[in-house]
Amino acid sequence: SGLVSNKETAKEYAMSGIGLLAGSSILLLTVVWGSCVIAGNQEFEHHSPPSNSHHKTIKTFFTGYGITTDLETSYSARIMVCSVIPFAIMQVPNLFHFSSGLRNVTLLIALIITSILLFLYFAYQIFEPWVQKRRLEYVKHDHLILRILQHVQKNTLQRIFTKNGTPNVSAIRRLYREIDQDGSSGISASEVKDLLLKNKVTETNFDEEREVKEVLQIFDLDGDKKINKEEFVSGFTKWLHQTQHALEKQYFSMKSLKNIYQVFGPWIENKRKEREGKKQLICEILKLVQSDVIGSLLTVDGKPDEHAIRGLFLKIDRNRDNFISQSELRELIMNIKFVKASMEVEEAVALVIKELDIDNDRIINEDEFVAGFHKWLSSTSAPAPVSHSESQEDMYQTWEEADMVVEERQRKAVVDKSTWAWFKAILYVMLGIVMLSILTEPLTESVHNFSNSVGLHPFFMSFILVPLATNAREATSAIKEASHKKPRTTSLAISEIYGGVFMNNILGFFAISVLISVGQVTWQYSAELLVVGIVCAIAGLTASFLSIFPLCSSFFAILLYPLSLVLVFVLDQVLRYN
């Protein structure tokens, strides 16, 4: 909007833009970067604490803890350093005292190089798409919790929470028992994979091994590659607290909320149907054998009659080999009308074998048969006690209610590259530019009026306050990701910071250069760009060759923020560098 304004107004817009560019980049690389190191710090694996106990705590605190980033993060830092090339070019007129005409030529050269860098960055992402994939992975990580919780409204979460809003531990424990399919008192990697992948309905680019490893890292506190009940309850409770907080703070859009419980929902629905089918099958088998085969299997006082059960075993074991084979079991099950109507005979046979065959040899011996029928009769004759706070079926009813309100959208695995898709993408970009243009004028005016009221230069208001507001969401997201204290998520958060700084430098400089050129404003912002270039060079070159950052590095990074502000003041007001 400054393009259509007079020269004085264009100068104010340029000043605010330079302040926002410098403030945002420096804020991200100092305060936000340092906060990520503090939030994500872990004890280094090969750290040896000093022998002197007097200095042990202090030295360990500074050097024994920190973060470790991956190779792609170093590449992102190197790409970010390239964004300061136009800033370096704009130092030439000051160093060699160029005339006004040569300054304009230098600005034009810097503008052309900025355009080339932006084009090369886009082209690089097309031929080397790892940058986009990491950005998508950074966004998707937050939604791993959403996929595992898969809900759409707060009220459908209430069954997982008690009336006072705390997680319902009994419901979480029941969920653990459902996931622990083999009853081994621990959820294995294969069971996690089944939970995450078997019933996924929306994810197309899904790194299953990484996601399984991530879930195990979150829950598996003792590192034994299995999740026990205590670890599951603790981890799931933490997830519920995070989700509840996110819902209350409206961190997730309604579109995102529709993905909550999308993995658990179909999986538990299948388990519910399987459980109901098994229960009905057992009832029909007991009804059949007690009416047609041997009579009642219960004593007078209603307890299982072991003698009658052994007699039933002998009747089913037609070849008298003391085992009930699948063929003998099939002969019995084929007489059940329920099986013929709702499931395949082989499916019913497999289900009964799974229930009764303790040693997994695919045949049922007499002891297994007696133990299994004893359990069946006990469960059908004496109903299990119902919890006062919540019944056994309440958890599953929650999922059924959630399914009624969740819109299952099928995403196409192939990217839409049609003309209409391109048109919509360009239209959204243009709409964003228009919205920014409309909002720029009142923002600049507000900053100018506020700076006049408090007696500060508009640049410093744009440098300090405006970046805090415009980058708050990005900063919060990065720090939250780093707080998971996992090298992968910390690396993604740091990479996102470097990517954000690159785009801020390139697009910000491009917009300001166009405004200055069209508005015929005199260039006088070399000091600000010099400071941004120094901070970017320090942060970028350091991260380009180092992957381990101790906790003490965060304090040096945060200290750079006030130092950069002082340096801008000294260059601009004392040394008159501009």
pLDDT at position 163, please?
55
Burial of 416 per CB tally in 10 Å (0-12, 13-18, 19+): exposed
Mean pLDDT check: name the lowest of 41-45, 63-67, 287-291, 474-478. 287-291
Whether the pTM exceeds 0.85: the reply is no
Distance (Å) of CA 521 to CA 58, 406, 507: 53, 55, 19
- What percentage of the chain exceeds 70 in pLDDT? 67
pLDDT at position 164, please?
56
pLDDT band at 157 (very low <50, low <70, confident <90, very high): very low
The better pLDDT of the pair 157, 415 is held by 415
pLDDT at position 499, please?
93
250 phi-psi bin (left φ>0, alpha ψ -120 to 50, beta other):
left
pLDDT at position 243, please?
59
pLDDT at 463 over 60: yes
pLDDT at position 500, please?
93
pLDDT in tens, 198-249: 444 344 444 566 666 766 776 777 777 778 888 888 877 776 666 555 544 4
pLDDT at 502 over 90: yes
pLDDT at position 150, please?
46
What's the rounded Cα separation, in Å, for the pair 117 and 108? 14
pLDDT at position 77, please?
95
Q: Which CATH superfamily is domain 151-262 in?
A: EF-hand (1.10.238.10)
* Closest listed residue to residue 403, CA positions, set 576, 574, 151: 151
Residue 201's CB: how many other CB atoms inside 10 A? Answer: 16
What's the rounded Cα separation, in Å, for the pair 346 and 554? 63
The better pLDDT of the pair 449, 391 is held by 449
Distance (Å) of CA 431 to CA 309, 426, 506: 76, 9, 20
Mean pLDDT check: name the lowest of 223-237, 254-268, 482-496. 254-268
DSSP letter string, 470-487 = HTHHHHHHHHHHHTT--H
pLDDT at position 296, please?
72
pLDDT at position 531, please?
96
pLDDT at 261 over 50: no
Q: What are the backbone dihedrals phi and psi of residue 385, each rounded to the nearest 5 degrees, phi first?
A: -65, 140
pLDDT at position 404, please?
39
Residue 546 structure tokens: 């180092």
Residue 65 structure tokens: 């803890």
What's the rounded Cα separation, in Å, for the pair 460 and 448? 11
pLDDT in tens, 280-312: 777 777 777 766 555 677 777 778 888 888 888
Residue 69 structure tokens: 């980033």
Say which DSSP state 62 is in.
I
pLDDT at position 552, please?
92
pLDDT at position 377, please?
78
pLDDT at position 385, please?
40
At how many degrees (to 10) do helices 326-333 and 264-288 cross?
80
The better pLDDT of the pair 431, 137 is held by 431
pLDDT at position 186, please?
76
Distance (Å) of CA 370 to CA 142, 322, 355, 359, 378: 50, 12, 12, 14, 12
Residue 114's CB: how many other CB atoms inside 10 A? Answer: 24
pLDDT at position 407, please?
34
Instruction: Write the CB contacts of 77 (distance below 8 Å, at least 6 apart in sequence).
Output: 498, 539, 540, 541, 542, 543, 544
Handedness of CA 162, 168, 171, 175 (dihedral sign): positive
What's the rounded Cα separation, in Å, for the pair 233 and 36? 28
pLDDT at position 203, please?
45
pLDDT in tens, 529-558: 999 999 999 999 999 999 999 999 999 999
Under 8 Å between Cβ of 269 and 399: yes
pLDDT in tens, 32-61: 999 999 999 888 865 555 555 555 566 666
pLDDT at position 316, please?
84
Amino acid identity, residue 495?
A: S
Domain ranges of the chain: 2-132+458-574, 151-262, 268-381
Q: What is the mean pLDDT of residues 370-395?
A: 57
pLDDT band at 483 (very low <50, low <70, confident <90, very high): confident
Instruction: Write the CB contacts of 214 (distance below 8 Å, at least 6 apart in sequence).
Output: 141, 144, 486, 488
Burial of 219 per CB tally in 10 Å (0-12, 13-18, 19+): buried
Continuous segment of H or E residues that includes residue 122: helix 100-127
pLDDT at position 333, please?
77
Q: What is the mean pLDDT of residues 266-276?
A: 58
As its CATH architecture, domain 2-132+458-574 has Up-down Bundle (1.20)
Helix count and strand count (H, E) for the chain: 26, 5
β-partners of residue 550 are 66
Mean pLDDT check: name the lowest of 153-162, 252-261, 369-378. 252-261
Highest mean pLDDT among 39-43, 47-51, 315-319, 331-335: 39-43
What's the rounded Cα separation, in Å, for the pair 260 and 243? 9
What's the rounded Cα separation, in Å, for the pair 477 and 481? 6
pLDDT band at 323 (very low <50, low <70, confident <90, very high): confident
pLDDT at 31 over 80: yes
Amino acid identity, residue 162?
A: T
Domains 151-262 and 268-381 share a fold: yes
pLDDT at 445 over 80: no
What's the rounded Cα separation, in Å, for the pair 329 and 44? 59
pLDDT band at 151 (very low <50, low <70, confident <90, very high): very low
Continuous segment of H or E residues that includes residue 560: helix 552-569
Residue 382 structure tokens: 């004496």
pLDDT band at 81 (very low <50, low <70, confident <90, very high): very high
Average pLDDT, the chain: 75
Continuous segment of H or E residues that includes residue 492: helix 487-519
DSSP letter string, 235-253 = HHHHHHHHHHHHHHHT-S-
3-state secondary structure of 520: coil
97 phi-psi bin (left φ>0, alpha ψ -120 to 50, beta other):
left
* Closest listed residue to residue 506, CA positions, set 75, 127, 86: 86
Under 8 Å between Cβ of 90 and 512: no
Burial of 478 per CB tally in 10 Å (0-12, 13-18, 19+): buried
Mean pLDDT check: name the lowest of 167-171, 378-382, 488-492. 378-382
Q: What is the mean pLDDT of residues 317-340?
A: 78
Q: What is the mean pLDDT of residues 143-160?
A: 45
Residue 144 structure tokens: 């791993």
pLDDT at position 242, please?
63
Handedness of CA 392, 398, 399, 401 (dihedral sign): positive
CATH class of the domain at 268-381:
mainly alpha
CA angle 349, 179, 343 (to 5 degrees): 25
What's the rounded Cα separation, in Å, for the pair 8 and 443? 16
pLDDT at position 112, please?
96
Alpha-carbon radius of gyration of the chain: 33
pLDDT at 459 over 80: no
pLDDT at position 541, please?
96
Instruction: Write the CB contacts of 403 (distance below 8 Å, at least 6 apart in sequence).
Output: 265, 269
